[in-house]
Amino acid sequence: APRAWRNHQRWAAIDAMASEVARDAGPVAAQSLPDDTDLMLELALDRRIARGGPASSGRWLVTSVGASPTDGYSRFRDFGDLTLWRRYAESPTSATRHRKRHSRPP
């Protein structure tokens, strides 16, 4: 019963997260989620998610709060005990500026 109660309490966060993802739909991956959260997320999104880590082209990544995502993701927002991460596509201009700022002189 405690597990069912925790999952029940998680629905508000799952629904809010699904609404946010629906605004800018793209592939969703899950990494290090508690209990049946990945299944709940699939139900709320009405589509499958990649489990075990981010898909190579995944726009969204869902983790437990405190988990570290794969490089390339920026923290978007926390939803209860879950964190939603987003991968932002870099334009060629911004990627060049980023490299110039963070490169070391020869």
pLDDT in tens, 49-102: 988 776 666 789 999 998 887 778 899 999 999 999 998 876 444 444 444 544
What whole-number distance in Å separates Cα of residue 61 and Cα of residue 20? Answer: 12
**What pLDDT is attached to residue 76?**
94
**Closest C-alpha to 50, from 60, 40, 35:** 60
**What pLDDT is attached to residue 11?**
93
- Mean pLDDT over 8-23 rounds to 92
- Mean pLDDT over 28-35 rounds to 87
Q: Label residue 14 by pLDDT band (50, 70, 90).
A: very high
- The token pair that represents 11 in the structure block: 């629905």
